[in-house]
Amino acid sequence: MSQGRKRPLTVHHLNQLLLVCSLVLIVAVAAVRVSSRSGLPSLLVYLGIGVLIGQDGIGGIHFDNAELTQVIGYGALVVILAEGGLGTKWKEIKPALPTASTLALAGVAVSVGVTASAAHFLIGLEWRQALIIGAVVSSTDAAAVFSVLRKVPLPTRVTGTLEAESGFNDAPVVILVASLSTAGPVDHWYVLLGVILLELAIGAAIGLTVGWLGAWGLRHVALPASGLYPIAVMAIAVMAYAAGATAHGSGFLAVYLAAMVMGNAKLPHWPATRGFADGLGWIAQIGMFVLLGLLVTPHELGEDFVSALVIGLVLTMVARPLSVVVSLLPFRVPWREQALMSWAGLRGAVPIILATIPMVEGVEASHRIFNIVFVLVVVYTLLQGPTLPWLARRLHLGDGQEAADLGIESAPLERLRGHLLSVAIPEGSKMHGVEVHELRLPTGAAVTLIVREGKSFVPLPTTVLRRGDELLVVATDPVRDAAEKRLRAVGRGGKLAGWLGVNGTQD
């Protein structure tokens, strides 16, 4: 190699990168507990980590690649939307589809118009820049909203509307921002509306088709390992995005709908799939927000701080409430639910990612647009996030029983410091023919459910176990290892394992 050529990446560089990334992930994971107790969305913590290790922080890392940030941000949004779609319950979202769709289209239009007018007349931005800011900040963020409301039970109509709106409104906003950021004159409004509707239709058709085909295939094809199902589900969801975007449709709508179809299809090994998707979603959020924190230059934010406060105030107190009232006028939604939906219009990852589009396209004053959006998201998330649960209680929307099943799968076990063990009885196991009470599990462990031939039931002490059964065993933390050891022993030696000397420690 010539002397003037840069040295290629080496294993040493990889070691340094892995060390930094692992430390950031560990700090971010630990920070989730802090943010959950304080009521703040985790995005603020992750943005803070990025700023802290950036050029104005203790890390001193100089990063200004807006194009790379946009690419990684898009990839992260695909994963986040896929995870959100997998967790969306059709029975909750179905009644809210008309209201959510109207909010995602008409509501966005109202919000863009009001916010852009404020940016033009109050701040003095050119109309193109003002419209870009209005479009960028008009998209709500599901992750930010539900990270705050996860402990507040709400009526199904409210949660369904907010969740569906957050999944749907990304698509038209991305199309609008991209159109406004291109060089040359902006198309007439009716042309933009036609393009948005066409891309949404293409994305919806592809997303529903890919999701249905993927769900059908996963239900009828037996994969050799359970760990392959989560990988296949996420691959199908990402494929829906890529297919939708390649066909000049809305890839974001396609991935959300495909994931939602698969999430309601009762796929095999579903708990493992949800856990895998949830982990990928957390990694995507952490990586994306840390990168956005790196991209911002804190010492430049002061110049646009007042502008961000003014635009954010108009967005929060005028544009969002007006868009909710206008959009929900035909549906006769109670005023208390409208009030909560107005205040729950949190901004998160999507606006900051979209603010990189004009930077990449070279729009005039694009750095100012990014700074305004960044400050707006941080300040008003700090304001709205902690007060959302309080507002829900004041409006008497947090006392219902309609959302009592939220977190029921894992939260009770966590509070009890317990474990849920899934035990499958294979062919040749000596657990076949053993009664439940003959398992002699340690105190603190019990068989709570048996799944047999596709049907589940609560066993009696005299229930006889059979090959092919799947047992769900709940064990408290102190006896978890002892319970697993005893189950392995009975599987090898039958109900007399203790007297025969089979201890289950061998593989």
Tell me the domains of the chain and their CATH numbers.
12-394 (1.20.1530.20), 414-500 (3.30.70.1450)
Predicted pLDDT of residue 405: 34
C-alpha angle 373/374/379, rounded to 5°?
A: 100
With contact defined as beta carbons under 8 Å apart, do 130 and 119 qualify?
Answer: yes
Retrieve residue 211's tokens.
């999701």
Predicted pLDDT of residue 44: 75
Place of tokens 């698509």: 171
Non-local CB neighbours of 263 within 8 Å, separated by 6+ positions: 85, 86, 87, 88
* pLDDT in 10s for each residue of the chain, 507 residues: 444 455 666 777 788 888 888 888 888 887 776 666 655 667 777 888 888 888 777 777 888 888 888 899 889 889 988 988 888 888 878 888 899 889 988 999 999 999 999 999 999 999 999 999 999 998 887 666 656 655 566 777 888 888 888 878 877 888 888 888 887 676 677 787 888 889 889 999 999 999 999 999 988 887 777 788 899 999 999 999 999 999 988 898 999 999 999 999 878 878 788 889 988 988 888 888 888 888 888 888 888 999 999 999 999 999 999 999 999 999 988 999 999 999 988 887 778 888 889 988 888 888 899 999 999 988 988 888 778 878 888 888 865 444 333 222 323 354 556 777 888 888 778 888 899 988 989 888 899 899 888 888 999 999 999 988 888 888 887 887 888 888 888 888 887 776 444 444 433
- Distance between CA atoms of residues 349 and 343, nearest Å: 18
Strand 455-457: give its sheet, edge to edge: 418-424, 470-476, 445-452, 455-457
**Helix/strand number for the chain, H first, E second:** 23, 4
- Distance between CA atoms of residues 113 and 310, nearest Å: 15
Compute the half-sphere exposure of residue 168: CA atoms within 13 Å on the CB side of its CA: 25
